[in-house]
């Protein structure tokens, strides 16, 4: 059994009477831990308002005995004199039966406040959430030394002058309030529920309400406004850009189908099935081209919408661009779905008919493949269908591989956009800047160093002297 006492370093050398405030914790293995967080010199102290009175530091001349400490409801009592350079432990309110050692751990409050644990800074995260491992002394200490949060969910004005100005804050939130009102409409909400822009709007609102990434939000809006001005000032006809991109995609698909019309990379495709696929896909592309011509005025205005979304933030522009890519590449996605269904039918047909040709069948009741006597006409039909599907399958497989690759490229582009969209909001920019300035410390970097003292400290417990080991937390 042991006792741990966490004490600020400057209090260890403090030689004046004062009261000690903090918390007491008893672990499952009966280790008594005292967390001394603050002192009170008969002055108003906000940090000690929610702390428990633990004891005091007294001059050895005024210290009486344990009865004196019990009468004043003390859990700890340190004394000092003119001869010793530091204070000494004289009394503990809760002492284990078999006390073996006492550890006095000195720490710097600023270092503990700057700890980064599991990607979160203790100052910005733990003051709002209590998801802390109570069995870890450092976790508990880091939570206790945090200053009292101000009224409200979080302090927006801390380190961000932008949120400290009420007019600027209202002006910055005006586009977002307008967009929130539009999204709240039942008709609009039903249309954009499954879009990336709506998904990003929900994520953005969650991050903004938490208040943990205000610096990211400011940078996001600044980049969005900057890009908006660049688009409107440098592009003379911005809507023509999207139209040109759409026609380029259509022409490239025509070129791809033309390559498949012959013998791509030396493959011998079935002529009749290949011509059927080409006619179907070309007709589909013509329909899509006609549809784009009809909605050309609307598409021209989409570019203006992308620029206007800069008022909300650069990430909103990325989200809208992702939705636009999904719409422009819709016909390629349809081609992928068609070829995937045909390929699955071919694979399933070959698998089933192969068992029939071999004279086997799948027994559903016993969940196994077993021999079966088929009639001659059944084997004849199975052989014909198996041969037909086998010779047609390479053509279907080539089309499936081509359009699956095209679908994969589109998916990779959307994944890259989503990666940047989320990183802009979730990347700990403020924490990174403070790490560069040595303002944050990883909890794994903490070191517990032994402090050599001029005179060994002892604690009298049941007529025996218990050694007091003094350590210091450093990074």
* Domain membership flag for residue 44: yes
DSSP notation for 55-118: EEEEETTT---HHHHHHTT-SEEEEE-SSSSS-EEEEESS--TT--EEEEEEE-HHHHHTEEET
Q: Which of 163-167, 339-343, 429-433 has the lowest mean pLDDT?
A: 163-167
Tell me: do 342 and 383 sit in the same domain.
yes
CB 107 within 8 A of CB 472: yes
The verdict on 370 and 416 lying in the same domain is yes
Long-range CB contacts (< 8 A, 24+ apart) of 239-247?
A: 239/299, 239/300, 239/301, 239/302, 239/303, 239/304, 240/300, 241/303, 242/299, 242/300, 242/302, 242/303, 242/324, 243/292, 243/296, 243/299, 243/300, 245/328, 246/292, 246/299, 246/328, 247/289, 247/292
220/128 same-domain check: no
- For 150-164, 239-253, 271-285, 322-336, which range has the lowest pLDDT when averaged over its residues? 150-164
* Range scoring the smallest mean pLDDT among 283-287, 405-409, 441-445: 441-445
Q: Is the pLDDT confidence value at 45 over 90?
A: no
Do 98 and 141 lie in one domain? The reply is yes
Element of type H or E holding 36: strand 32-40
Please state the rounded mean pLDDT for residues 293-306.
73
Q: How confident is the model at residue 439 (pLDDT cuts 50, 70, 90)?
A: low
Average pLDDT over residues 78-106: 83
| pTM > 0.95: yes or no | no
Confidence of residue 452 (pLDDT cuts 50, 70, 90): confident
Q: Mean pLDDT, the chain, as a whole number?
A: 78
d(CA 365, CA 75): 74
Residue 448 has pLDDT above 80, yes or no: yes
User: Phi then psi for 461, rounded to 5 degrees?
Assistant: -140, 110
With respect to residue 167, please indicate whether it lies within any of the assigned structural domains. Answer: no
Average pLDDT over residues 300-312: 73
Burial label for 314, CB within 10 Å (0-12, 13-18, 19+), is buried
Which of these, 82, 103, 85, 138, lies nearest to 32 by C-alpha position? 103
pLDDT digit string (tens) for 203-232? 888 887 776 677 788 888 888 888 888 877
In whole angstroms, what is the distance from residue 54 CA to residue 92 CA?
A: 10
pLDDT tens-digit map of 46-73: 444 568 888 888 887 766 566 778 777 8
Q: Report the candidate in 245, 221, 238 with the shortest Cα–Cα distance to residue 306.
A: 238
Question: How many helices, marked H, and strands, marked E, lie in the chain?
Answer: 16, 15
| 373 domain-assigned | yes
Range of the domain at 284: 176-211+214-427
- Pair 279, 315 in one domain: yes
Question: Quick one: 387 and 447 in the same domain?
Answer: no
Domain annotation covers residue 433: no
Average pLDDT rounded to a whole number, residues 28-45: 73
Q: What is the mean pLDDT of residues 384-388?
A: 90
**145 and 185 housed in the same domain:** no
Is the pLDDT reported for residue 303 higher than 70?
no
Position 461 pLDDT exceeds 70? yes
The pLDDT value recorded for residue 333 is: 86
Residue 240 forms part of a structural domain: yes
What average pLDDT does this structure show over 323-327? Answer: 83
Three-state SS at 237? coil
How much is the pLDDT for 425?
84
What is the rounded average pLDDT of the residues 80-101? 81
Tell me the CB-side half-sphere exposure of residue 220, using CA atoms within 13 A.
28
The answer to whether position 443 is within a domain reads: yes
Q: State whether 410 and 461 are in the same domain.
A: no
- Reduced to 3 states, what is the DSSP secondary structure of residue 153? coil
| Domains in the chain, number | 2
Mean pLDDT to the nearest integer, 295-321: 78
Is 159 part of any domain?
Answer: no
Residue of 131, 143, 121, 134 whose CA lies nearest to 33: 134
Give the mean pLDDT of 422-441: 72
* Model pLDDT for residues 133-156, shown as the tens digit of each residue: 445 777 788 778 876 654 444 444
Contact 40, 48 (CB under 8 A): yes
Instruction: Let me know whether 129 and 194 are in one domain.
Output: no
């Amino acid at each position: 059994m042991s006792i741990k006492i966490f004490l600020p370093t400057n209090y260890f050398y403090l030689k004046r009477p004062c009261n000690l405030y903090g918390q007491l914790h008893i672990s499952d293995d009966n280790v008594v831990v005292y967390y001394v967080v603050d002192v009170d010199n008969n002055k108003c102290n906000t940090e000690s308002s929610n702390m428990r009175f633990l004891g005091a530091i007294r001059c050895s001349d005024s210290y009486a005995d344990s009865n004196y400490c019990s009468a004043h409801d003390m859990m700890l009592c340190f004394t000092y004199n003119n001869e010793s350079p530091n204070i000494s432990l004289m009394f503990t309110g809760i002492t284990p039966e078999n006390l073996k050692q006492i550890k006095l751990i000195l720490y710097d409050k600023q270092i503990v406040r700057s700890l980064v644990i599991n990607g979160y800074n203790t100052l910005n995260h733990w003051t709002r959430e209590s998801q802390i491992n109570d069995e870890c002394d450092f976790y508990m200490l880091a939570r206790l030394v945090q200053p009292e949060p101000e009224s409200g969910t979080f302090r927006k004005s801390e380190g961000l002058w932008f949120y400290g100005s009420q007019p600027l804050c209202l002006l910055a939130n005006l586009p977002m309030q307008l967009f929130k009102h539009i999204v709240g409409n039942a008709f609009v909400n039903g249309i954009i529920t499954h879009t990336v822009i709506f998904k990003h709007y929900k994520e953005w609102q969650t991050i903004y309400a938490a208040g943990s990434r205000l610096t990211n939000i400011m940078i996001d809006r600044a980049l969005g406004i900057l890009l908006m001005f660049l688009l409107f000032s440098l592009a003379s006809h911005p809507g023509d850009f999207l139209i040109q991109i759409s026609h380029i995609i259509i022409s490239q698909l025509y070129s791809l189908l033309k390559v498949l019309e012959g013998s791509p990379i030396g493959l011998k495709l079935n002529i009749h099935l290949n011509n059927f696929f080409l006619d179907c896909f070309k007709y589909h592309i013509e329909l899509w081209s006609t549809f784009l011509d009809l909605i050309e005025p609307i598409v021209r205005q989409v570019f203006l919408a992308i620029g206007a979304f800069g008022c909300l933030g650069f990430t909103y522009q990325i989200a809208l661009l992702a939705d636009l890519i999904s719409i422009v590449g819709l016909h390629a996605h349809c081609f992928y779905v068609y070829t995937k269904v045909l390929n699955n039918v071919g694979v399933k047909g070959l698998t089933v008919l192969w068992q029939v040709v071999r004279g086997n069948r799948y027994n559903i009741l016993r969940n196994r493949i077993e021999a079966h006597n088929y009639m001659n006409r059944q084997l004849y039909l199975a052989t014909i269908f198996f041969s037909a599907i086998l010779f047609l399958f390479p053509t279907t497989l080539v089309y499936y591989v081509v359009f699956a690759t095209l679908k994969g490229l589109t998916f990779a582009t959307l994944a890259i956009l989503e990666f940047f969209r989320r990183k802009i909001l979730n990347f700990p920019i403020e924490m990174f800047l403070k790490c560069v300035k040595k303002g944050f410390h990883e909890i794994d970097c903490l070191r517990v160093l032994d402090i050599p003292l001029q005179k060994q400290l002892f604690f009298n417990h049941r007529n025996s002297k218990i050694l007091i080991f003094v350590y210091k937390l450093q990074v």
